[in-house]
Amino acid sequence: MLVYLMQPAQIITMKKLFFFSVFLFTCAVTLAGIKPDTDKYNRKEVYIPMRDGTKMHAVIFTPKNQTEKLPFLIERTPYGVNEYPSPEKSGYIKDMAQDGYIFVFEDIRGRYLSEGKYEMMRMSRDKKDPKAIDESSDTYDTIDWLLKNVPDNNGKAGLYGISYDGWTTIIAASDPHPAMVAASEQATPSDMFLNDDLHHNGAFRLSYAFEYAFMEEISKTDSLFQFGNYDTYDWYLKLGPLSNLNDKYIHGKLPTWNNYIAHPDYDDFWKRQSLTYRLDSPRVAIQHVSGWWDQEDMVGPQSAYQALEKQDRHNRNFIVLGPWRHGGWAGGDGSSLGNIKFDGQNTASYFRKEIQAKWFAWYLKGKGDGNFAEAISFQTGSNKWKNYSAWPPKESTVKDIYFHANGKLSFNPPTATESKFESYVSDPAKPVPYRARPIEETYGPGSRWYFWLTEDQRFVDNRPDVLTWQTDTLTADITVTGNLLAKLYAATSGTDADWVVKLIDVYPQEYKKELKMSGYELMIAADVLRGRYRKGFTKPEPAIPGKVEQYAIDLHGIDHVFKRGHKIMVQVQSSWFPIIDRNPQKYVPNIYKAKAADYIKATESIYHTVGAASSIALPVAGE
């Protein structure tokens, strides 16, 4: 849920990186003796009173050459706004700044220079209480004040933002001020237990959840935990049970960490915090933006779009899906991501100029034709932009791709003559790393966190606790567009287990287009299910040792072409450390209170036989 700025203690907070480079350049120009007064916008700091008397700190930018009444474009953030540059100097909003808006950047309640108490993912207020507050009421009061106190506005406002700022955007849109007519939520989290930042399908995202909670809650400004280990894999392994974090390090000082312990299952706390609980129908025009390789909030925008689409009676709900990491569309040209290139397509630049800028120009100014596709997707593999009338598209046909003996993968189901299963030993003392080591602190110096979903998966190929299946070399392209579901038939010798499934595009062993990519194993989709939740997230159940059961794992949406000459691969494992905490593999009611003795080895078996045929349901286009 982050985006980066440097603090005095060399803290990097992701979202400000887009602006901070411009700030440093301006400082360099000043030191060279050149007057840097080239800003095209006037800057003003204000404190805006809320209905309960608390004041929010905001920075307002108005065009120096303003000749007409303009709408507001507002971003509300927990990451600090005081050093934002003039809008035309930010790559993220430069195209909109050239069109002319009144830009407003506001510290949310309790963060940086705003008054009040910060509450992560603040719950919705009791509307019967006129003094009750939440993020939507703070946005409402902000817009109301701006309309009355900033001259030459046209009476319209739009909100936008990435990650937490995307969440504040969609929360504002759920209960909007009448002047709020458009929103672009980008990489919002949706449900912190089922997906996104803190859990995936009930499995706890340990390293991210701890480091983010510490950064946001230990002080009013962003702070990094001091690990004393560059490779945090070692630190988290030596930590032992999760209870040691409070006992040895944070001593109950992080409210969010305490919530993890108090709510280990999907109870009313997580449900009330989720977007599906708060959203009903699109009350303003809303654009959802998601990255295929978003390492933090890939699912959120898709989930929010689907929740609102059910009640979209006025065609106000739209989605954009691109080949980006978390927030990757906000800076750079987007022609590559990590080692993956997109055939010269400047996807981020295209989004900012042709999609985002035109969206707000239409809804806030009435400029353009207002002709926006329901779903705009950058299809990876073919590396082409696609427009769809629905997401997921209705034209795809679901086909199961089955696991077989001897590591084979095909669209044909297994036969009775094949061996029935493959096994491996999962040892909590030797968990599979989620990316190649060293695993740097998430937002620390030199971190490769931002690109790990595109890392070459060959780094786990020879581990005995990772199973692999792959097709023969493809003789024709296979296009997969829509939502994926892994159907794993498995048994464990323990009483709980995690199941990680990865769908991978294997490049040819001699890839002449770019030789260094030969044999590359690119994850296209991957996720984890904590086995105790196989029958539902509200009531966990221990596994019966040795019993074969189906584990359905939502792998979410993709739009990808597996090219002729490539192979399709699936990997299965039972740890993904430390992004996912170690499952003790012995069922305990609350994993956050597990003891060291609860962590045991277990034999995990994946079945591929008649009546227990493990597979992945692929929505194949053009069938």
Per-residue b/e over 485-518, b at no fewer than 16 CB within 10 Å? bbbbbbbbbbbbbbbbbbbbbbbbeeeeeeeeee
Ordered mean pLDDT values, 10 residues apiece, the chain (623 residues):
41 40 41 68 98 98 97 98 97 98 98 98 94 97 98 98 98 98 98 96 98 96 96 98 96 97 98 96 98 97 97 96 98 98 98 98 97 98 98 95 98 95 98 98 96 98 97 98 98 98 98 97 98 97 98 98 98 98 98 98 98 98 82
Q: Which amino acid, one-letter code, is at 147?
A: L
pLDDT at residue 26 in the model: 40
pLDDT at residue 616 in the model: 98
**Residue 456 DSSP one-character state:** B
pLDDT at residue 35 in the model: 53
> Given its phi and psi angles, is residue 292 left (phi above 0), alpha (psi -120 to 50 degrees) or beta?
alpha
pLDDT at residue 1 in the model: 61
94 is written with which tokens?
């430069």
Kindly give the pairing relationship between strand 384-388 and strand 180-186: unpaired
User: Cα dihedral angle (430, 431, 434, 438), rounded to 10 degrees?
Assistant: -30
CA–CA gap between residue 587 and residue 248 (Å, rounded): 24
Q: How many C-alpha atoms does 322 have within 13 Å on its Cβ side?
A: 28
pLDDT at residue 37 in the model: 78
pLDDT at residue 36 in the model: 61
CA–CA gap between residue 118 and residue 134 (Å, rounded): 11
CA–CA gap between residue 368 and residue 561 (Å, rounded): 33
Domains and CATH numbers, the chain: 4-186+279-388 (3.40.50.1820), 203-270 (no CATH), 397-620 (2.60.120.260)
